[in-house]
Amino acid sequence: MKLKVKDMDIATGGVLIAILNIEDAKRFDLYPEDRITIRKGKKMTTAVVNVAESRKAVSPGKIGLFEEVIGKIKAKQGDNVDIDIQEKPKSIALIKKKLDGHSLTAKETDTIVKHIVQGRLTDIELAYYIASGYMKPLELGEIVALTKSMVKYGGHLKFNKKFIIDKHCSGGVPGNRTTMILVPILAAAGLTMPKTSSRSITSPAGTADTMEVLAPVSQSLDKIKKIVKKTNGCIVWGGAVDLAAADDKMIRVRHSMSIDPEGMLLSSILAKKAAVGSTHVLIDIPLGKDTKIKTKKEAVHLKRMFIKIGKRLGMKVKVIITDGTEPIGNGSGPVLEARDALYIFRRDEKRPLDLEKKSVMMAAEIMKMVGIKDAKKKARQILDSGIAYVKMKEIIKAQGGNPDIDPDKLRLGKYSYTYKSPKSGTIYDIDNITIAKMARIAGAPRDKEAGVYLYKHERQKVKRGEKIFTIYSDSKVKLNYALNILKRRGGITIG
The residues assigned a catalytic role are 260
Region class of 278: left (phi > 0), else alpha (psi between -120 and 50), else beta: beta
Distances (CA, A) of 31 to 24, 52, 161, 366: 10, 11, 53, 55
Give which of 332, 356, 340, 338 is closest to 431, Cα–Cα: 332
Q: Does 252 bind its own copies (CB under 8 A)?
A: yes
Among 20, 92, 243, 250, binds its own copies (CB under 8 A): 92
Q: Which is nearer to its own copies, 27 or 461 (CB)?
A: 27
Q: Does 488 bind its own copies (CB under 8 A)?
A: no
- Encoded amino acid at 129, one letter: Y
Q: Does 1 bind its own copies (CB under 8 A)?
A: no
DSSP 8-state class, residue 27: H
Q: Does 90 bind its own copies (CB under 8 A)?
A: no
Helices 140-152 + 245-255 axis angle, to 10: 120
The interface with its own copies within residues 102-161 (CB under 8 A) comprises 122-128, 131-132, 134-136
Q: Which is nearer to its own copies, 259 or 300 (CB)?
A: 259
Q: Regarding beta strands 35-40 and 17-21, do their DSSP bridges make them parallel or antiparallel, or are they unpaired?
A: unpaired
Give which of 453, 196, 491, 457 is closest to 334, Cα–Cα: 453
x/- string (CB under 8 A) for its own copies, residues 167-186? Answer: --------------------
Instruction: Give the Cα separation of 250 and 229 in Å (integer).
Output: 32
Q: Does 9 bind its own copies (CB under 8 A)?
A: yes
Instruction: Give the Cα separation of 174 and 434 in Å (integer).
Output: 10
Cβ 137 to its own copies, closest distance in Å? 12
x/- string (CB under 8 A) for its own copies, residues 47-86? Answer: ---xxxxx-xx------x--x-------------------
Q: Does 353 bind its own copies (CB under 8 A)?
A: no
Instruction: Give the Cα separation of 431 and 429 in Å (integer).
Output: 6
| End-to-end CA separation in angstroms for the chain | 77
Q: Does 31 bind its own copies (CB under 8 A)?
A: yes
Q: Vertex 214, ends 220 and 401: CA angle to 5°?
A: 60
Q: Please count the residues of this chain forming the interface with its own copies, following the rule CB under 8 A.
A: 49
Q: Which is nearer to its own copies, 57 or 390 (CB)?
A: 57
Give which of 457, 453, 431, 452 is closest to 442, Cα–Cα: 452
Q: Does 256 bind its own copies (CB under 8 A)?
A: yes
Q: Which is nearer to its own copies, 24 or 284 (CB)?
A: 24
Q: Which is nearer to its own copies, 392 or 439 (CB)?
A: 439
Q: Does 26 bind its own copies (CB under 8 A)?
A: yes
Instruction: Give the Cα separation of 295 and 284 in Å (integer).
Output: 14
**Burial class of residue 361 in the structure, from the number of CB atoms within 10 Å of its CB (0-12 exposed, 13-18 middle, 19+ buried):** middle
Cβ 102 to its own copies, closest distance in Å? 12
Instruction: Give the Cα separation of 364 and 371 in Å (integer).
Output: 10
Q: Does 241 bind its own copies (CB under 8 A)?
A: no
Q: Which is nearer to its own copies, 8 or 370 (CB)?
A: 8
Q: Which is nearer to its own copies, 1 or 106 (CB)?
A: 1
Q: Regarding beta strands 331-332 and 193-197, do their DSSP bridges make them parallel or antiparallel, or are they unpaired?
A: unpaired
Instruction: Give the Cα separation of 383 and 459 in Å (integer).
Output: 27
- Encoded amino acid at 250, one letter: M
Q: Which is nearer to its own copies, 254 or 273 (CB)?
A: 254
Q: Does 15 bind its own copies (CB under 8 A)?
A: no
x/- string (CB under 8 A) for its own copies, residues 433-472? Answer: -------x-----x--------------------------
Q: Does 19 bind its own copies (CB under 8 A)?
A: yes
x/- string (CB under 8 A) for its own copies, residues 259-278? Answer: x-------------------
Among 37, 82, 96, 239, binds its own copies (CB under 8 A): 96
Helices 178-188 + 387-398 axis angle, to 10: 100
Q: Of the ranges 9-17, 218-226, 320-328, 487-495, which one interacts with its own copies (CB under 8 A)?
A: 9-17
Cβ 44 to its own copies, closest distance in Å? 22
Q: What are the residues whose beta carbons fall under 8 Å from the beta carbon of 337, sequence distance 6 or more?
A: 175, 177, 180, 205, 210, 329, 331, 451
Among 2, 229, 255, 464, binds its own copies (CB under 8 A): 255
Residues that bind its own copies (CB under 8 A): 8-13, 19, 26-27, 29, 31-33, 50-54, 56-57, 64, 67, 88, 92, 95-96, 99, 101, 122-128, 131-132, 134-136, 252-253, 255-259, 440, 446
